[in-house]
Structure 1
Amino acid sequence: MPSYRKMWKARHDAVVKIFGGWEESFTRLRQFMLALCKHNPDSSFLIEDDPLFVNNKLKPENRVFDRIFWAFKQTIEGFKHCRLVIFIDSTFLYGNYKGCLFCATGLDGNKHIFPIAWAIVDCENTRNWDWFMSCLRVFVTDQSDICVISDRHIAIKKAMQQDWWQPPNGHHRYCLRHVLSNYNTKFKNPDMKEALRKAAHQIQKKKFYDAMDTIKSEHPDTFEWARNIPLEKWTHSHDGGKRYGSMTTNTVESVNGMLKGIRALPITTMVEKIFFQCVQYFDTRRTTFREQLQLGFNLTPACRQIMNENLNEANSLNVRLFNRDCGEFEVWKDRTGDNHIVKLYERTCTCEKFQEIRIPCSHVIAACQSMSINYEQYVSNYYTLERTLKCYEWQFHALGHHDDWPTDNDPILVSDPNRKRSKGRPTSLRKMNEMDWMVIQKRGDPSKIH
């Protein structure tokens, strides 16, 4: 049986034979991006490079690759029809050269991942995150009131201090899984960690404060730790509806898992594979939503499921009309004694679920049914099939033969020798923490952890 070293070298040689060498790939990167933008007009990319010195002498015919940002026209236009939430995260590369892949994603009206933009940089630091977040504003979206969800990396927090990401232009929120992971690292108290999770998911402020009072009485240190994090950053109750109910960055992490095999390839091949995956992804989603529209549906399947669940619950509720002119109702359930105030014209309910995800809660549905009002009119436009289909309506176009690609007249890009990985097998799996073990327990398949 051949040794592990020989098998690894054979794999490396196969990659080079199929996709070309890593150094050669840097020289092809700019031309590939020019071709992509030629056949998919208004796509955006930005390559930054540095001068090359050899023996202290400048070589003007070459430039050293530093970093690249890119976003396809199709994803830029599609995001205009998504909810105003962006998930950002990074994942390391494990080819011949060290680096990180930054990724920004959104959610369409069916809770599907929507790819937005990418970047390849040398590492995860303030310089690169600040640049990536600036590129999102310059090339992708200038919309205000956008919510950005991320982990608590210090570099991301500093990047989010830019004016165009400050309220009301933008709102920074933390991934709850990462917040709880930070807690677990410090205290290793699973009971209090679960109590914090439940408190964070409470939508009503009163229930949140009740949960935190219990935590304070049982474990004051946990209460003090959580109090040092701004409440709007990690709780449902103080979020103001900016998250649309999304508490984690699971979406972008799923994308990172999908790209695991790609992250070991030469840089141009990596960008090319991401392009082809988006082509297939858009075509699949476009076909699916068109079929849904042809079947006569108006709302996305995910929205319809939530509505059906709320409708079943609404059938057991009691309703009292208080003001017909402003659409004010009191809604309650006999068994629990809980009662809520619905104001249809203001689109509010004191349970706050309606304001959080912009889909009628059971109380709103009950109030509408009592007056024979069509409650679907109170569903946010983001959840309609027509709008969701618009996310994917921009079609990708083939790039043609590379002999017909635009000529790259800029200095030749070369790799940075300082980023070349040392000999030995690169680590392809990051160190796992308790978040990963929770997933293993749910899925029962350690091979799916990336």
Structure 2
Amino acid sequence: MEALKQSNPGIVVVWKHKALVDDVYYSNMEVFERVFWTFGPCVEGFKHCMSVICIDGTHLYGKFKGTLLVATGVDANFQVFPLAFALVEGENISSWSWFLGCIRVHVTQRDGLCVISDRHAGIIAVMNDPNVGFTEPRAYHRFYVRHLASNLKTHVRRNDMRDMFKVAAYQRQERKLVADMSLIGQACTKAIQYIVQVPLPMWSLFHDVGRRYGICTTNFSETFNNVLKGARFLPIMSLVEFTFHRVNKYFTDRRELSQTRSEQGLAYSPKVTSIMEKNIAKARYHKVEAYNRRLHIYQVETKRGDRIGRKGGHRHTVNFQLRTCTCNKPRIFHLPCSHVLAVCVKYSISERPWVDRVLQSEAYANTYAPQFSQDRTILGATD
């Protein structure tokens, strides 16, 4: 039996109890089974984040057993964004289905979400269940590259195959991906047989078409697990309250930074600004030639200049109408590459349309603008 408890519009907790325990039915007693919780500011803030959700599970320690399921988003600064939590009996199809179902009901109804996870069988089954609400095109499932690479290493017992696979996964151009896959096949038949069993869009940046914003690692979920360090020893109510305080502090710190940048008129978050500056530095060594000024099509040739280890001599076509570059970086990362910026600099064109809305300072400020309420009576609630 499920019960929703909500002391104010800003906090949602869903309890799930059971009366059947070890095949024994208790008519006058309900036994705790699961609890899901999220906070209003997280729900509101996520509307301004990337359309990406990272999900992960971590075991509880000490006297209180179970598994803590955590869903996080990614903000405009490419930092983890806390979204929802659940305490369940373990990772299985039923618990993941319930958790993701609660997210659909209480957190977000956004379509086109990219859900990134490990290859847990329960998650895979739930993502393919139309009743939960995460099948395509409402959502797209992707795997953490590092998790796949680790599994590959275990499967073939070769560190070099793990590393070669990661290089292939991060390739943004098809010819380079094909070449890397060929090398893996020549080096280890068992490795390539393992890899081809996994659909390309699940791990290849080139085939992802930008749904994951270039996010391939487990760092985002692991980072927030570090934020919750120490919480896994706590009883249920203390765990919920602990997340309240930690997430509130997380919002407060980032609210000050994001609002300051917005007030200063800075267009992008610190991380995006850093990426743009590096790309602008590269653009200085590019040669731009107009192919069709009316259609805004340009060819950009890379030059090595004084950069050590850079070969140069590559040519890419930039189309401003379609917002594409043959390097594929704008499509994958939703940011202008150095080739685009070289054109922008030469012809005094704004790069702003190439920067995804959720990566700009306004979205960054709006993400952390919602305030947490001091009313926490929900933390003592029962159904």
Distance 1:59 1:372 in 2: 75
Q: Name the CA shift for 1:101/1:315 in 2 (closer, same or farther; >3 Å).
A: same
Distance 1:146 1:55 in 2: 39
Aligned pair partner of 2:358 in 374, 382, 397: 382
Distance 1:376 1:55 in 2: 61
Match for residue 49 of structure 1? 17
Aligned pair partner of 2:340 in 343, 364, 388: 364
Distance 1:353 1:134 in 2: 33
Q: Secondary structure at the match of 1:88?
A: strand
Aligned residue-pair number: 372
Match for residue 324 of structure 1? 293
Question: TM-score under structure 2 normalisation?
Answer: 0.92
Q: Name the CA shift for 1:407/1:387 in 2 (closer, same or farther; >3 Å).
A: closer
Distance 1:380 1:232 in 2: 21
Q: Which runs of 5+ in 1 are unaligned?
A: 1-29, 411-450
Between stretches 280-289 and 159-168, larger displacement belongs to: 159-168
What are the within-5 Å matches in structure 2 for residues 30-49 of structure 1?
Answer: 34=5, 37-38=6-7, 40-49=8-17
Match for residue 149 of structure 1? 116
The one-letter amino acid of 1:103's match is V
Match for residue 416 of structure 1? none
Between stretches 287-296 and 75-84, larger displacement belongs to: 287-296
Distance 1:54 1:214 in 2: 53
Q: Name the CA shift for 1:254/1:178 in 2 (closer, same or farther; >3 Å).
A: same
What is the RMSD of the two structures over their aligned residues, measured on CA atoms? 2.1
Question: TM-score under structure 1 normalisation?
Answer: 0.79
Match for residue 444 of structure 1? none
Deviation at 1:220, TM superposition (A): 2.1
Q: Does 1:353 align with 2:320?
A: no
Deviation at 1:262, TM superposition (A): 1.0
Q: Does 1:373 align with 2:349?
A: yes
Match for residue 392 of structure 1? 368
Aligned pair partner of 1:73 in 31, 37, 40: 40
Q: Secondary structure at the match of 1:165?
A: coil
Distance 1:406 1:272 in 2: 6
Deviation at 1:337, TM superposition (A): 2.0
The one-letter amino acid of 2:242's match is K
The one-letter amino acid of 2:30's match is R
Q: Name the CA shift for 1:366/1:54 in 2 (closer, same or farther; >3 Å).
A: closer
Q: Secondary structure at the match of 1:330?
A: strand
Aligned pair partner of 2:316 in 333, 337, 340: 340
Distance 1:117 1:323 in 2: 49
Contact conserved, 2:53 with 2:72, CA < 8 A, in 1? yes
Q: Which runs of 5+ in 2 are unaligned?
A: 305-311
What are the within-5 Å matches in structure 2 for residues 170-319 of structure 1?
Answer: 170-319=139-288
Between stretches 170-179 and 374-383, larger displacement belongs to: 374-383
Structure with higher Rg: it is 1
Match for residue 99 of structure 1? 66
Deviation at 1:133, TM superposition (A): 1.1
Deviation at 1:74, TM superposition (A): 0.8
Distance 1:115 1:124 in 2: 20
Deviation at 1:53, TM superposition (A): 7.8
The one-letter amino acid of 2:177's match is F
Match for residue 136 of structure 1? 103
Contact conserved, 2:330 with 2:354, CA < 8 A, in 1? no
Match for residue 20 of structure 1? none
Q: Does 1:115 align with 2:82?
A: yes
Deviation at 1:221, TM superposition (A): 1.9
Q: Name the CA shift for 1:144/1:295 in 2 (closer, same or farther; >3 Å).
A: same
Q: Name the CA shift for 1:91/1:56 in 2 (closer, same or farther; >3 Å).
A: closer
In the TM superposition, what whole-angstrom CA distance separates every residue of 1:274-320 from its partner, at most 9, and x where no partner exists? 00111111111101111222333121111110000000110110111
- Give me the identity figure in percent: 36
The one-letter amino acid of 1:220's match is T
User: Post-superposition, which runs of at least 4 consecutive aligned residues in structure 1 deviate over 4 A?
Assistant: 52-57, 405-410
In the TM superposition, what whole-angstrom CA distance separates every residue of 1:122-165 from its partner, at most 9, and x where no partner exists? 11111101111111111111111110000001011001012221
Q: Secondary structure at the match of 2:70?
A: strand
Contact conserved, 1:87 with 1:149, CA < 8 A, in 2? yes
From the two aligned structures, give the one with the greater helix fraction: 1
Between stretches 303-312 and 92-101, larger displacement belongs to: 92-101
Deviation at 1:52, TM superposition (A): 6.9
Contact conserved, 1:126 with 1:155, CA < 8 A, in 2? yes
Contact conserved, 2:262 with 2:365, CA < 8 A, in 1? no
The one-letter amino acid of 1:41's match is P
Contact conserved, 1:126 with 1:158, CA < 8 A, in 2? yes
Match for residue 125 of structure 2? 158
Match for residue 417 of structure 1? none
Deviation at 1:193, TM superposition (A): 1.4
Q: Taking CA–CA contacts closer than 8 Å with sequence separation of 6 or more, which of the two structures ends up with the larger relative contact order?
A: 1
Q: Secondary structure at the match of 2:327?
A: coil
